[in-house]
Chains A and B, each alone.
Chain A
Amino acid sequence: MAYSNARRPMALTAAFAIACAAPATPALAEPGDYAGWQTALNLIFPPGPNHPVTDAQRAGPYPLLPDPYSFNDGFNPGAYWTWQTIRVSPSTGAVCGNGSPYKFFVNRVPHTRNTIIYMEGGGACWDYASCTGQTGVRGARNPNGIPDDYMSLANPGASLVSPFVTRISPLDTAKTQNWNMVYIPYCTGDVYSGDRVATYENPKDSEQSLVWHHNGLRNTRAVVAWLKNNLPRPTQMLSTGCSAGGTGSLTNYAALRRDIDPARGFLINDSGPIFPTPQFGDSARFPSVRLHARIRDVWGLDDGPLAFIQDAAPAFDLGDLGSIYPALSSGFPNDRLGHTHFWQDQNYSSYSYERFYDEITNAPPAQRPALITAKWSQDTAALRAQLDGLSNFGGYFPQFRALNESHCTTVVDFNNGDVQERRLQLDDFINSVLDGRGPVLDASEASDIADRAKPLNPLYALIDLLL
């Protein structure tokens, strides 16, 4: 009697639980979502990969090299909702700038195969001072590598967390908050695009030098290989990031999209522009030409990475890094792509010009922002014109936000990236990319007066305490 009493509720409960778990999943199912009963089963039997790396993908330039089978990557397929640290074997070619092991982070959910791939921002580096993280110079994040507990380590710079990598935000909802999340940390200083071991001499001590691995491209390839060998193919995939992460999303999109091969691909590059700039163009017309020349050299871009992009996006012109926008547009005509940044961005713009123009370097500090903004405006106008001609690649350019030097439109919240004259919010742009039909929204704001007239935002004021 005791036996049957115990068994009956268990069996009934099991069947009932499976059948009734559906309400726990998001109400509006869309392509890539599992049915409720499937979600319940996934909780117990996590689905595995269905598009593993092929032999052909293991060969050629920048191959997809999975971990050896015996390698313990730390992944637990059934640990849903949890930020899991994924260790990567050295044999994949992945490594952080200082030579320490690369790793990344996965937060899995049972109710969908849709996946957001988020590349962390964090500056860039191209010499001893910037790559060692010296104070007083804009450098790159994580010069000492990535701790295993990185997601439990609140980073002062990362206090500007994006709603794209949170499940819940105080002010916003994005459908990607219900998706599987892949957080790709940044430790190579090369906007996820380089392939060169650089040796930077200490200008103050010629006996000292820094060996630095600008290995971003191979790190991204290792992540792709892992995703293919461990998770189901996403039906919908958004590749995004802000600042260096935005640039990395842009440069890696073609190969990522080709190899992951989701049914629907989306890109949002937040504040990581690569401006249209002929390689040997006149710096008066193309202000980013000096930055481009520098990074092509020190990150080894001409020795493989650019040709690799061209292989995946044939319209990419090796003589103009900014041609990546039309190349992606034509290479993936059914994907929906977007770029956004503020006209008044004082961060990425500083990286772009501050150390390349004597008239800025030598100017009194108070005058530098205006000089930088002038060049940024010139470059932004060219990018805006380019994007206006691409129907599936939208450009969204608000003016100013009283947070983080107007750098990154999608951090903290999606508010205050508005284009008042057209009554548009940043949400409208994001939704146009992710859910729109027809051409992706293009919008630009002419004046920052309305932005600067806004009252103090109490949440931003509290965030300022953290910075």
Chain B
Amino acid sequence: MIAARRRRILLAAGIAAGLLLAAVVGGPFQSPSDRHPGDAATERAATKHAAPAASAGTRGDTASPAALVGSPPARAALAAHADRQRFEKRLRDFFAHADALEPAERERIAVELDAQVEAEELARRMSADEARMLRLALIERRSVDAAERLRHAEALADAYRLEAERRRRAFEQQQATDPAFVAYKAREAQVVAEVAAMRTVPGGLRRDEYLRQRLQAERERAYALNPGG
């Protein structure tokens, strides 16, 4: 009994290992028309930063493939992918077939989808512009009367406008107090005046190019001294 169980575990691990090996060695699907058939073999796992799912390891790790692939982060990544696919399909289906739904059903689904779109936006899986456009289109398909739809659209527009203004203000405030940017801007004016006053430009460069290089050097210095900037 135990031996059979072990065999099944080993078989599953073997399948996973085989697939993993194929991924590393064989690479992705290639059409015969691809101009770079070597790309698949040279594609390597990203290594610069850890991916959420890859926190179980990268392709070069020595942990068993089954452990890597079956780890909680990996399973979460697979589940998240499937969720996203389902969400997109549901949204597309609704836009394609909303007119055929009973009003109550259409209203219920539109409200549900609106909440899902908002959640995707909050998770940055959707830009604010995309979310706003979709939510506007969902309002347009709701079963409520025209005046109610207009009220919802106006409220939505106001909410996005206020949020955009809030974020803009926060950005401008952050930039105004960013030590690297403040230091650079102070030097920028000085360097521009200095270069404009030069009778000859060093290095045989055009004045514009010399100015550009000087200002780039100032930015590099400012942001090296204030890396959080």
Name A residues whose Cβ lies closer than 8 Å to a Cβ of B.
4, 7-8, 10-15, 17-19, 21, 24, 29-35, 37-41, 43-51, 75-84, 89-91, 93, 95, 99-101, 110, 113, 144-145, 147-149, 151-156, 158-159, 161, 165-171, 173, 183, 195-197, 199, 211, 213, 230, 232-233, 235, 261-264, 300, 303, 412, 458-459, 462-463, 465-466
Residues of A contacting B211 with CB < 8 Å?
A: 197
The 9 A-B residue pairs with the shortest CB-CB distance, nearest first, are A78-B51, A77-B46, A14-B70, A170-B137, A31-B31, A263-B35, A147-B171, A48-B46, A161-B129
Alpha-carbon distance A276/B132, docked complex (angstroms) = 38
Does B66 sit at the interface, judged by CB under 8 A?
Answer: yes
Say which residue of A15, A159, A264 sits within 8 Å of B132 (CB atoms). Answer: A159
Q: A44-B68, A48-B43, A76-B49 are in contact. Are A170 and B95 (CB under 8 A)?
A: yes
Does B62 sit at the interface, judged by CB under 8 A?
Answer: no
Residues of A contacting B70 with CB < 8 Å?
A: 10-11, 13-14
Residues of A contacting B74 with CB < 8 Å?
A: 14, 43-44
A106 to chain B, nearest CB (A): 12
Complex contact A81–B31 (CB within 8 A): no
Q: A15-B15, A152-B121, A462-B136 are in contact. Are A168 and B91 (CB under 8 A)?
A: yes
B160 to chain A, nearest CB (A): 4
Alpha-carbon distance A329/B33, docked complex (angstroms) = 21
Q: Name B2's closest neighbour in chain A (CB-CB).
A: A4
Does B81 sit at the interface, judged by CB under 8 A?
Answer: yes
Alpha-carbon distance A45/B121, docked complex (angstroms) = 25
Does B216 sit at the interface, judged by CB under 8 A?
Answer: yes
Residues of A contacting B20 with CB < 8 Å?
A: 41
Q: Name B166's closest neighbour in chain A (CB-CB).
A: A153
Q: Name B84's closest neighbour in chain A (CB-CB).
A: A81
Q: Name A466's closest neighbour in chain B (CB-CB).
A: B157
Name B residues whose Cβ lies closer than 8 Å to a Cβ of A.
2, 5, 8-9, 12-13, 15-16, 19-20, 22-23, 27-31, 33-36, 39, 42-54, 56, 58-59, 66, 68-70, 74-75, 77-78, 81-82, 84-85, 88, 91-92, 95, 121, 123-130, 132-134, 136-137, 139-140, 153-154, 157, 160-161, 163-164, 167-168, 170-172, 175, 181, 184-185, 188-189, 192, 196, 206, 208-209, 211-212, 215-216, 219-220, 223, 229
Q: A21-B81, A170-B95 are in contact. Are A78 and B175 (CB under 8 A)?
A: no
Q: A43-B77, A99-B188, A263-B34 are in contact. Are A48 and B44 (CB under 8 A)?
A: yes
Residues of A contacting B216 with CB < 8 Å?
A: 90-91, 93, 95
Residue contacts A-B, CB under 8 angstroms, 28 given: A4-B9, A13-B70, A24-B85, A43-B77, A43-B81, A45-B45, A47-B43, A47-B45, A78-B51, A95-B219, A100-B175, A101-B229, A144-B172, A148-B171, A153-B164, A154-B128, A154-B160, A154-B161, A156-B161, A161-B127, A168-B88, A168-B134, A169-B133, A196-B208, A199-B192, A232-B43, A235-B31, A235-B39
